[in-house]
Each structure stands twice: as C-alpha cells, then as structure tokens.
Chain A
Amino acid sequence: MSVTELQFQAAAVGDAPVAAIQGRSQWQLTWRRLRSDKVAIASVGVIILMIAFALAAPLIAAITGHPVDQAYPTTGQNSFGNPVGPGVHGFLLGTDQIGRDLLVRIAYGARISLFVGLLTTALATIAGVTLGLVAGYFGGVVDAILARFFDAALAFPFIILALALASVFRPSLTIVIGVISFFSWAGISRIVRGQTLSLKEKEYIEAAKSLGAGPMRIMFIDILPNLLGPVLVLATLYIPTAVTFEATLSFLGIGIPEPAPSWGNILSEAQQFYQVAWWYIVFPALALLITTLAFNLLGDGIRDAIDPRTERIFAGSKATRKRGRRKRGQLSLDQAILVGQQDGQVTDLPITNAGGDVTS
C-alpha cells in the first residue's frame, strides 16, 4: 500500500500484459483518493516532521549542547531570575523558569506525547475492536454483559478517576497510559459492535459458516476487514484526543511527573510565567496545537477517502471543491445566492431548478 508498490503495479501493467490481473484493493483506492487530498498529505508531512522532531530529541540536545534536565542559572535566566527569550545565549526558543532549554524540553515532551498518543490508541483500538467484535458477533448474554461494560466505561468521570488514581498511586507514565486507554476503548467497541451486528447477517458470513469456519475465523477474517475503514478513522481521531488527555493530566499534575518533560507539564509550569515569558507558554502550546490539528485533519481526510460520499466544508482537493459546487447547484435559489455570495462567484452559479420568480 505504498507509493512504490503502486508505481510498481502500474509499471507491471504497462510492461508485461501477461502478468495476472490484480484488482485494486479498497486500501489502494483509498490511498489514491487520499493522495489527491492536499490537506491530508500536508497533515501527514506535519506528523512525520513531528515524529522526526521527537526522535531527534537527543540529537537536538547534543547540537545545542543543552541536556534536557540541565538548568543554566547564569545564561538561561536574566538578572531577575526570569526565563530568557528566544535567541538569547543560544536558547533558540528561550528557557524555562530555572533556565532549561525550552526547545530541548519540547522535543523530549514530543516523545512522551506521541508515545502516549500512539500507544494508548493502539491499546484502546485492539481492546475496543476485540470486545466489540465479540459482543456483536456472539450477541445474547455475552453482548448484554459487555454492553454494560461499555456503558460503565463511558459513564466514568474521567478527571475524577484520574485524580483518585493519582492520589492512590504515584503519578507515572504507566498510570497515564492506563487511564487514557481505559477511557478510549469503549467508544471504539460500541462502533465496532454496531457494525458487527449488521455485518454478521450478511450472506457471506452464512457462506463462511456453511463452509465450517469457526467464530474466530469469521470475526477476524470475514468481518474485521469490513470494519477496518471506520476503525482506522476512529483511531486516527483518537490519537489527538489521547495527546490532549495526556497534556490535561500532566497539566493538572497527575500525569507525567517532573522532571521528565511533557507538553502538559511544561504548560502547567508556564502558566505562572506567561506575563514575563510569552515563549514559555506559546511554543509548547503551538506544538500541541499543530500535532492535534494534523491528526484531526488526517482523520478527516482518511474518512473522506474511505467513503467518498461524505461532504466536507473545508477541503483541499479540486475534486471536492467541484463536487461541492455541483451540489450547491441543487440548492434552493435563496440558499444558492447565499452560498454564491460567500464564494464571491454569483455569476457562474448553475441555477437549474429555481422554482420561484427571479426578480432580485
């Protein structure tokens, strides 16, 4: 499902017509559509850059010569003991209140945020999909019990449970991952359960049963591939949620404990200094914003690519814009003019089914 593979296939079709005909899979088609979505591709770029930034954290520390936990009371603080601004004494993004390099700390924070985001999403997706499949496929008592679990998990007050856990146990990365995963799986389970309920009535499931296939085979080989689209979209949209969850927990002091940096605990410290050091709160917040935005836009892009029928208001690709305009042509006259004015192109509106009098 990569670019090279597609190119290879294209080459194979052109050069060797003898080769077996390979149908395009759902994923190949999705990828083709996704590729033409500029916003989604830009988001992928941003995400790759952010991951590279996180992975390169030790390298950044080495280049700047500022280890992550090293405070520089002389160069990193001004005469009032406040953080120094971007560019001063070789601190590209400034320092924090005890004179640590903010750039290095944001880079190390990116590691924690992305790690927590990706790992919790992976855990929640695996648990959610498995339990949703089991509940939906087996139905009956199994479903009744599991469905109550989903409801219970969704009904838990997130912050209160996190506070309680943090007061019982010492705040740690494990607790953060556990808490976020616990609050994420049930949503996925519900969606998967609902889809499974309808998919299991399909004739091809009956066909698989008549072949003698067992429940495991039916759930994971016949049903799961049909669910991967919505699950992928959900998972992509869960990553930014998990990143924000982690930041929230750390901000409240019940997440990643100091001195390990995370975007949340940097922001938490920064709130006391934003009047004297704007960079201290702006840069970590920007990192958080860019990351969550990129994942959200990518999720939207994947959803559109998987199901091209969904309409989006803000779209990067020409095809979507054209589709949008065509659709507007079918609106009522008033709406059409309203939309047209917003677009600044009333003149080339195809008003085809204007039923009323056109005396404007």
Chain B
Amino acid sequence: MTDSLTGPAPSGFPSDTDLSDDVLVRVDNLVKHFPVKGNGMLGRTVSQVQAVDGVSLTVRRGKTLGLVGETGCGKSTLARCIAGLIPVTSGKVYFEGQDITNLKRGTMRPFRREIQMIFQDPYGALNPRRRVGSIIGDPFAVHNTATGAERKRAVQDLMARVGLNPEHYNRFPAEFSGGQRQRIGVARALALRPKLIICDEPVSALDVSIQAQVLNLLADLQDDFGLSYLFIAHDLEVVRHVSDSVTVMYLGRVAESGPGDQVYDHPRHPYSAALLSAAPAADPDAAAARQRIILTGDVPSPINPPPGCRFHPRCPKAQDLCGTAEPALEAKAGDPATHLTACHFPVETGEILARADRREQR
C-alpha cells in the first residue's frame, strides 16, 4: 500500500510550485478504496477495490479539465470524492487553497455552493415526483437563499438561461425530452452560481445533435459566469472539443495529463495512444490512414491491480522494468513541463507500436 501512496512523485507535479490564484481545485494523491466484505452479518473486509489510487490533478479557474478513460477506471469515483459525496480514503482535495477533504456536512456546506455536479443520466438525476420548478429551486431551498416569489423568479430566469420555456415551471421531469432534462440538471447546478461544475459524462446519454446543443450551452455558460469544469467523458472527441487540458486515467491512476492539443496530437503513454487510435475519425481519409492499436486482454481487476505500471500486462512496449517499478508522472524529454506521462518508455512521435501491429495483421 505504501507503494501506491507514494504513487506519482510529488516533485513532478506542477501545482506544488504553482499555488497561484489560478488554481481552483487541487487534488493531491487522492486514494479511494472500497472495502469488499465477506459473507455473514459481521462481514470482515476481505479485500479492497482500488477505484482511485493516488491521483493528482489541478482544475484552473475558468478552464476545463477533461478526464478520460474507459469504464471502471475510477473517473466517476474521483468526481464524487472531489464533490464530497463519498469519503476519501487518503489524499487531499483543496478548493481555493482550503482543504475540503472529508469535511462534515455542516463545514462542507459553504463549499457545496461552490462545487456543483451535472449527472450522466438525465432520467435518473431528476426526482420524478417533483415539479421542475421545485427541482431547480432546490438549491435555493437547501441554502435558504431565496423564498416564495423571489425563488420562482430566480428559477424562471435560470430556465430561460439554459434554453427552457419558463412557463414549463410546473411540469414534471417525465414531460421533457432527454436534452431538456439535461438542461434542467444544468439549471439546477447553476442556481447557486458555483465556481466549479463537475460534469459526470453529461452528454453520453444524449443523441449526437442534442450533445452539441448541451455542449454549446455549457461553453456559453462558462464564458458568461467564468465557470470551471471538470469534464468527465469517454467520448474523446467531446473531451477534446471542450477541454483546455486533459487527464487520461487507467485503472485508478493517471496515465498522462497535459494540454489538450499536446495529449491528442502527441500522446506519450501507450495507453493514451491506443485510446486515441480507437476513436472514430470524422474524415474517411484520416480514418483509413491511421494506425489502430488493438490492445490485448481485458482491464485487470481493480481489486488486485498488476504491480509496477498498471498498464504493463496489456502494453505493446512493456519490458521487465514495467512489471516491477512504478513509473512516475513526469514531463518526458522534449515535452513541455505541463505534459506529464507516467511511463518508463514513452511513445515517440511516429513510432509504430510493434506488438499491436503484429496482432492486427493476423
């Protein structure tokens, strides 16, 4: 366990030297393990699901940090830890320099106003038994900021702002389409004028044309209110579209992080490269020309992750060192200081990943 806690070397992390006002949220070596209980009433803890294991990241004021990775890599768990919805096993979350890790409900309350969430499932995130006006007005009710007619006006303003008809104030969520419901979720998140909105796959349940509408709405709101987003998605193109910087996660760890263009155009981690090569390209010529890296095997269980680099059993570049030593998250030679990669043998530009290639020809 000590191994995982030391995780990425702190020295390689830029925010240690960069504690300016620019940083809104700093996550430092965050670990979240879920105990797996045995049978019976007393159920001893048999093992731990290492959902998030030593992740550090920074969300800058007014910017968007995209968080990508496949299902089960710990993205949503990380989001819930930052939002204070689930207790953190170890590590720290700082909001505007203040430690908000595992705060009690009362002390967390002022920060709740600053950090809001937009959820993945526009059907599940709205209480089916409550009217839309009441759902969007909930933040006001919880924080006692507006009552009666004032609250109603505020809610209707919000509805208009996110592109809903304010006359639909008294409707139920079931009477709206998926895109409209997601707008309701956005309006609710916006109600208290937060500084950070955590978007947990906000568009993955929506139709493509609706995705664009919601993404544009989020972008407009960012400009108008100076919002910062932590944007979680597994659609790489969506993340590229909205993000200023991108963090790639694999099995509870950060594989690579850096400015969006850097990570997308020059991925250094073999996993990032494989992930990007799997994304469908809109241009058919580009699609035909690109080299696809097909990974072998499945994602290992987070209950018993592989030692060393967690990606090494599937990595086309893996060598003996990868199975024993954990690579530090650091800037590799030739990369800007903000582009960090946790890999012993980073991918060079133009390099062809041998093992994957062989498999493809078969």
Interface residues of A (CB under 8 A from B): 20-26, 144, 202-204, 206-214, 217, 222, 225-226
B83-A20 in contact (CB<8A):
no
B112-A211 in contact (CB<8A):
yes
CA distance A214 to B143 in the complex (A): 11
Residues in B with CB closer than 8 Å to A25 are 131, 172
Interface residues of B (CB under 8 A from A): 41, 80, 83-85, 105, 108-109, 112-113, 115-117, 119-121, 124-131, 138-139, 142-143, 167-172, 175, 185, 188, 192
CB nearest neighbor in A for B172? A23
Question: Least Cβ distance of A60 to chain B in Å?
Answer: 43
B119-A207 in contact (CB<8A):
yes
Q: List 27 A-B contacts (CB under 8 A).
A: A20-B167, A22-B170, A23-B168, A23-B175, A24-B172, A25-B131, A25-B172, A26-B172, A203-B121, A203-B124, A203-B125, A204-B127, A207-B119, A208-B138, A208-B142, A209-B85, A210-B83, A210-B84, A210-B85, A210-B115, A210-B117, A211-B112, A212-B105, A212-B142, A217-B142, A225-B129, A226-B128
Question: Least Cβ distance of A267 to chain B in Å?
Answer: 43
CA distance A267 to B120 in the complex (A): 62
Q: Report the 9 A-B pairs with minimum CB-CB distance, sorted nearest first.
A: A212-B112, A23-B171, A225-B129, A203-B124, A203-B125, A204-B127, A22-B170, A23-B172, A210-B117
A211-B138 in contact (CB<8A):
yes
Residues in A with CB closer than 8 Å to B124 are 202-204
A213-B171 in contact (CB<8A):
no
CB nearest neighbor in B for A201? B124
CA distance A86 to B117 in the complex (A): 73
B170-A207 in contact (CB<8A):
no
**CB-CB under 8 A for A226 and B116, given A23-B175, A208-B138:** no
CA distance A209 to B105 in the complex (A): 10
CA distance A36 to B7 in the complex (A): 66
Residues in B with CB closer than 8 Å to A203 are 119-121, 124-125
B125-A204 in contact (CB<8A):
yes
Besides A25-B172, A144-B41, A207-B126, 15 new A-B residue pairs in contact (Cβ under 8 A), listed by A number: A21-B167, A22-B171, A204-B124, A206-B80, A207-B119, A207-B185, A208-B127, A210-B85, A210-B115, A210-B117, A211-B138, A211-B142, A211-B143, A211-B188, A213-B142
Residues in B with CB closer than 8 Å to A213 are 138, 142
A144, A202, A203, A206 pick with most chain B CB within 10 angstroms: A203
Residues in A with CB closer than 8 Å to B185 are 207
CB nearest neighbor in A for B127? A204
CA distance A26 to B129 in the complex (A): 7
Residues in B with CB closer than 8 Å to A225 are 127, 129-130
Residues in B with CB closer than 8 Å to A214 are 105
**CB-CB under 8 A for A212 and B143, given A202-B124, A203-B124, A207-B188:** yes
CA distance A78 to B119 in the complex (A): 80
CA distance A24 to B83 in the complex (A): 34
Residues in B with CB closer than 8 Å to A23 are 131, 168, 170-172, 175
Q: Which of A20, A26, A206, A211 contacts B139 (CB 8 A)?
A: A211
CA distance A222 to B135 in the complex (A): 10
CB nearest neighbor in A for B122? A203
CB nearest neighbor in A for B132? A23
CA distance A225 to B128 in the complex (A): 9
B119-A20 in contact (CB<8A):
no
CA distance A114 to B209 in the complex (A): 59
CB nearest neighbor in B for A212? B112
Question: Least Cβ distance of A318 to chain B in Å?
Answer: 26
Residues in B with CB closer than 8 Å to A26 are 129, 172
B129-A226 in contact (CB<8A):
yes
Residues in A with CB closer than 8 Å to B168 are 21, 23
Question: Least Cβ distance of B83 to chain A in Å?
Answer: 5
CB nearest neighbor in A for B140? A211
CA distance A297 to B301 in the complex (A): 53
Question: Least Cβ distance of B103 to chain A in Å?
Answer: 11
B117-A20 in contact (CB<8A):
no
CB nearest neighbor in B for A224? B129
A24, A25, A210 pick with most chain B CB within 10 angstroms: A210
B188-A21 in contact (CB<8A):
no
B125-A207 in contact (CB<8A):
yes
B142-A222 in contact (CB<8A):
no
Residues in B with CB closer than 8 Å to A217 are 142
B129-A207 in contact (CB<8A):
no
Question: Least Cβ distance of B84 to chain A in Å?
Answer: 8
Residues in A with CB closer than 8 Å to B108 are 212
Q: Which of B109, B130, B170, B188 contacts A212 (CB 8 A)?
A: B109
